Structure 1
Amino acid sequence: MGFEEMWAALLPVGRDPVTGGYHRFAWTPPELECRAWFLSEARRRDLDVEHDANGNMFAWWLPDGGSRDAFPAEGAVVTGSHLDSVPGGGAFDGPLGVVSAFAAVDRLRERGARPRRPIGIAVFAEEEGARFGVACLGSRLLTGAIDPARARALTDGDGHTFAEVLHNAGLDPGAIGPDEDLLGRIGCFVELHVEQGRALREPVGVASSIIPHGRWRFDFGGEGDHAGTTRLADRRDPMLPFAGMVIAAREAAERNGTVATVGKVRVVPGGVNAIASSVTAWLDARGPDDAAVRRTVKEVDEAARVAARPHRVSVDLAEESYTEIVDFNAALRDRIAGTLGGPPVLPTGAGHDAGVLAARVPAAMLFVRNPTGVSHSPAEFAEPADCLAGVEALTAVLDDLACG
């Protein structure tokens, strides 16, 4: 089955028939269907399938006579991405890297390549953080970047804990956490991904770095009451300082040369004719350096507290995740760029599993051009010819790293 057929098979899964956006949240039926597709494609190729304790999946093409218990000293070459999505997301973010990985393995086999190092195709769990709030949760657990106890206690919008969801999926919540054996078998990781911006002018590029980024939760506590009978002077309305916080985020980002976004908010009780008792809002902030991002968040926090005082509203701030600047392994990056004949090398403002894994193993990224520059939206797009160019690029990289 070629790239186009695999892509067509995944395209309808979790797609909203009205908006065209995708809703593939971790361990919900659409994402489970994507996982089943992955397992089917792996078995179709007689790849060795492995599930780790954190919900990540791997499909291994092992050298002739090899086994997972006898990896070479230099370790496996792993590629892949994720299959979950943001709410109303695009088709390419994540799945493009997984489909391309299978297609690259097919092309290597068609050319008679014989890997001397295992080639792995990975699917990481809850990369977007759309269900449990922490991005790259599967890779963070694998590498030890998040405390397992904290991960078990994370809750989704319906109040289900991560531990409960894992248990219902047949996994042991008590076993989650760093997997040194698995990490020790990975020699390097190369993730192919659609570009999430307008910087790439050629079909394929190579990532240089990921800029600092994080997520913060603001909790505004007020007092619920009747919208028609409560005097303005008597109100403790958390929506007012929340509104000030949204405006402050834009202003702080402009001052500090960063980007700041409030894209998710939860209002309790959420009635049209009721004053809210509480508001929870999430701030996403990213920038060229740690100081600029931290300064942005500090200024937003201060502005929110100033706005809250006259309304007698409490404000609490919690950091849910933060990733400092990630510079991808220079030797691996340069080797890949040489293999591909000198493609553009560019940074990205989007977080990825490759950025998390980079703390433990040499990691790199390939980008496929996005002509619209839009991502996390149904308008996200890559031309078929560029997708196939990405497959060819990934094939060449795997050939060089694993078969050369």
Structure 2
Amino acid sequence: MGTQSLLDEITDVGRDSARGGYSRHVFAEAETELREWFAERAEGAGLEVETDRNGNLWAWWGEPDSGDAVVTGSHVDSVPGGGAFDGPLGVASALSAVGTLRERGFRPGKPLGVVVFAEEEGGRFGVPCLGSRLLTGAIDATAALRLSDTDGVTFAEASAKAGLDPGRVGADPARLGRIGRFVELHVEQGRGLVDVAEPVAVGSSVIAHGRWRFSFSGQGNHAGATLLCDRADPMLPAAHAVTAARRIAEKFPMARATVGRLVPTPGGTNVIASTVDLWLDARMPEGDVRALVAEIEAASSAAAAEEGCSLVVSEESLSGEVLFDPVLRDELSRLLGGVPALPTGAGHDAAVLADVLPSAMLYVRNPTGISHAPEEFAEPADVERGSAALADVLEYLCR
């Protein structure tokens, strides 16, 4: 079955009527439905499906015990109100590529796996690429289990409800040792392929990126009864932090600084907030991203002190710049006719795995250049070109 047909099967799963787009969060109803869809489709393609200790789904063509398995895949979870292609395109393309190889009569000389990683976006528990970080040991299991969603449900509780054993969550070197090479196909999150008029590219690097929580504390009070001169309103320094992030990031070459989530407590219209939490996403292609965050923190701390408030900043995740395996990158580029190699500001599970094994990315053109929003798109013809390219790559790597 073609990739577009597979995507059409899940087009109504997890639609978000309030935000637009899709909200598919790990172990919640929509994401669980997509997991079941994947397992059904994978088993229909003759693959053996299993779930690992961290909630990642695996489907195998051949017994994965030799240490040289070739694995592809992506994720099915989304950001709140995300697009239809980020994650599912890589999963559907992998399933379609397996079907293409079977139609060719190809029999892999190495085990071939398709993986669906858990909580890639961090949309529920706040840490991106959680499934692959746990697999590789890039995040402490105890810390991960303590993560909680907006309803106060911990990752440990959600994992147990999903049928996992929280006591076994964590690094899985035996499973990781089965993999020889990993390739992730993804819709491009940007305009690189539009600008070079190509449908497919390979990835060259992922810039350094991280997430920080800024917690401002003041004095909750009555909005009508409290004079302005008597206030310690944490919303003011929080607002200053939002604008400071943009202003300061502009001083660093090609830096990105974004506040996409801000939560006041108690959140009443006629109440001065007692606390305001916001989350800063900061990324830089060169230099120390912590230096950027430090300047934003200093400006925010000064604004907090001026208002009689306090600020605590905590680092929730940080990944340095990742360079994908240059040998594998160049091999795949030549195999696909000299397609370009592009950097990205978006994080991926492939970047997490790149620290421990040869990994690569394939990108499919996104004519809007928009991602993490309902306008994210890929033309059906490009979707199938990407799937065909992935099939060629898997055949080459599995010989």
TM tier relative to shorter chain:
over 0.9
Distance 1:107 1:17 in 2: 35
Distance 1:170 1:232 in 2: 52
Indicate yes or no: 2:66 matched with 1:72.
yes
Which 5+ residue runs of structure 2 have no aligned equivalent?
none
Q: Is the 8 A contact 2:119 2:130 kept in 1?
A: yes
Indicate yes or no: 2:51 matched with 1:51.
yes
Indicate yes or no: 2:295 matched with 1:295.
no
Distance 1:304 1:16 in 2: 34
Distance 1:185 1:152 in 2: 25
The partner residue of 1:175 within 160, 165, 168 is: 168
Which 4+ runs in 1 deviate beyond 6 A?
none
Displacement, 1:290?
A: 3.9
Q: Is the 8 A contact 1:25 1:131 kept in 2?
A: yes
Indicate yes or no: 2:342 matched with 1:346.
yes
SS at match of 1:188: strand
Which amino acid letter does the alignment assign opposite residue 14 of structure 1? G
Displacement, 1:6?
A: 1.1
Report percent identity of matched pairs.
Answer: 58
Q: Is the 8 A contact 1:206 1:366 kept in 2?
A: yes
Which amino acid letter does the alignment assign opposite residue 377 of structure 2? F
Indicate yes or no: 2:78 matched with 1:85.
yes
Query: How many residues are matched?
Result: 395
What are the superposed Cα offsets for residues 343-364 of structure 1, whole Å, 9 maximum, x if unpaired? 0111000000000011111100
What are the superposed Cα offsets for residues 110-156 of structure 1, whole Å, 9 maximum, x if unpaired? 01001000110000000000100000000000000000010010010
The more displaced of 1-10 and 332-341 is 1-10
Match of 2:313 in 1: 317
Match of 2:119 in 1: 126
What are the superposed Cα offsets for residues 73-130 of structure 1, whole Å, 9 maximum, x if unpaired? 5x11000000000000000000000000000000000010010001100000000001
Q: Is the 8 A contact 1:290 1:324 kept in 2?
A: no
SS at match of 1:347: strand
| Mapping for residues 257-276 of structure 1, pairs under 5 Å | 257=253, 258-276=255-273
Indicate yes or no: 2:371 matched with 1:375.
yes
Displacement, 1:248?
A: 0.6
Q: Is the 8 A contact 1:203 1:369 kept in 2?
A: yes
Indicate yes or no: 2:308 matched with 1:304.
no
Tell me: CA distance 1:18–1:235, structure 2 relative to 1, closer, same or farther (3 Å).
Answer: closer
Distance 1:341 1:229 in 2: 70
| Mapping for residues 20-39 of structure 1, pairs under 5 Å | 20-39=20-39
SS at match of 2:261: strand
Distance 1:157 1:298 in 2: 27
Displacement, 1:2?
A: 2.9
Q: Is the 8 A contact 2:144 2:155 kept in 1?
A: yes
The partner residue of 1:112 within 105, 111, 114 is: 105
RMSD over aligned Cα, in angstroms? 1.0
Q: Is the 8 A contact 1:81 1:95 kept in 2?
A: yes
Which amino acid letter does the alignment assign opposite residue 349 of structure 2? D
Displacement, 1:17?
A: 4.2
Q: Is the 8 A contact 2:121 2:128 kept in 1?
A: yes
